[in-house]
Structure 1
Amino acid sequence: MIYHHEITDDVLLVSVNGDLLGLPEDQKLLHLAESQMLENNITRCAIDISNAHYINSTGLTILIRILTLYRNAGGEVVLINPSPSVSKVLVITKLNAIFQVLKNKEEALNALSTKQLASV
């Protein structure tokens, strides 16, 4: 898995390319989320998983750990446009009820805006 990130409007935007399997390079995603929160006080994150075609239980654990970390800090994590196979896994595991799943980056930024987040 390869990921790219940027910060827009105090939101960490991460784009994942490749399978999310919990391999050592995948753990860097968790480290990125932790470091952005601690170093830059970022508590909102959008993860674009449209190019992640497969996710296993360890990959799901990484997403859950990021979600837990940010929610414990008063923030939120949303997922952007999961591929059909990843969507199926989210439904089977019922994580689609835990994560807000949005269509694109613009929807994610809107959902994570301070005004929207305050009402969650």
Structure 2
Amino acid sequence: MTFNHVIRDNALIIRLAGDLIGEDNGSGILEVAANAIQQGIRLAIIDISGLRYINSSGIGVLITILTKFRNKGGEVYLLKPSESVQKLLVITKLNSIFQIVQSEDEVLKDVNK
């Protein structure tokens, strides 16, 4: 798995690609999220359009990020899940916990009103 991140309009944007399958993969992502929170960022958009596969450990990474942001009064959005990842989110009912969106710009526009 690969990822990159950027801060844009006071939001952390993380782009994931490949397979999110464990703590080893997720530790760097968690570190980026923790650093952003420490800098006062309260919004994260995780672009999962490039994820091919995610297992329970990968889901745990996403939930950890969500928990950390919500504990600080923030929010996490999942951006453009693939069909297979969307099915997994529905089966696990995580689609009712995470806000799933199709446009990064829409989230930023709504939040920065």
Tell whether the structures are fold-level matches, with TM greater than 0.5: yes
Q: Which has the higher strand share?
A: 2
State the alpha-carbon separation in 1 of the partners of residues 41 and 80 from structure 2: 22
1:37 corresponds in structure 2 to 37
Residue 80 of structure 1 contacts residue 108 of structure 1 at CA under 8 Å; is this kept in 2?
Answer: no
Distance 1:7 1:44, change over 3 A: same
Contact 2:47 2:80 in 1 (8 A): yes
What is the CA–CA distance in structure 1 between the aligned matches of 2:43 and 2:24, rounded to whole Å? Answer: 24
8 Å contact from structure 2 (residues 54, 85) kept in 1: yes
SS of 1:19's partner is strand
* Unaligned ranges ≥5, structure 2: none
Quote how far apart the aligned CAs of 1:110 are. 2.8
SS at match of 1:52: strand
Q: How far did residue 90 of structure 1 move? A: 0.2
Work out the CA distance in 1 between the residues paired with 2:108 and 2:52. 23
TM-score (norm 1): 0.89
Distance 2:89 2:25 in 1: 22
2:57 corresponds to: 58
Large movers: runs of 4+ above 3 Å: none
Match of 1:75 in 2: 74
Could you tell me which residue of structure 1 aligns to residue 28 of structure 2? Answer: 28
AA at the equivalent of 1:18: G
Contact 1:5 1:14 in 2 (8 A): yes
Report the residue type matching 1:83 in the other structure. S
Percent identity for Structure 1 against Structure 2 = 45
CA distance in 2, matches of 1:76, 1:14: 14
Deviations 1:56-115 (A, max 9, x none): 00000000000000001000000000011110110000000000100021123234x155
Aligned to 1:106: 105
Q: How many residues align?
A: 113
Stretch moving more, 48-57 or 14-23? 14-23
> 1:33 & 1:88 partners in 2: Cα distance?
25
- Quick one: distance in 2 between partners of 1:78 and 1:7? 14
Q: Distance in 2 between matches of 1:48 and 1:100?
A: 12
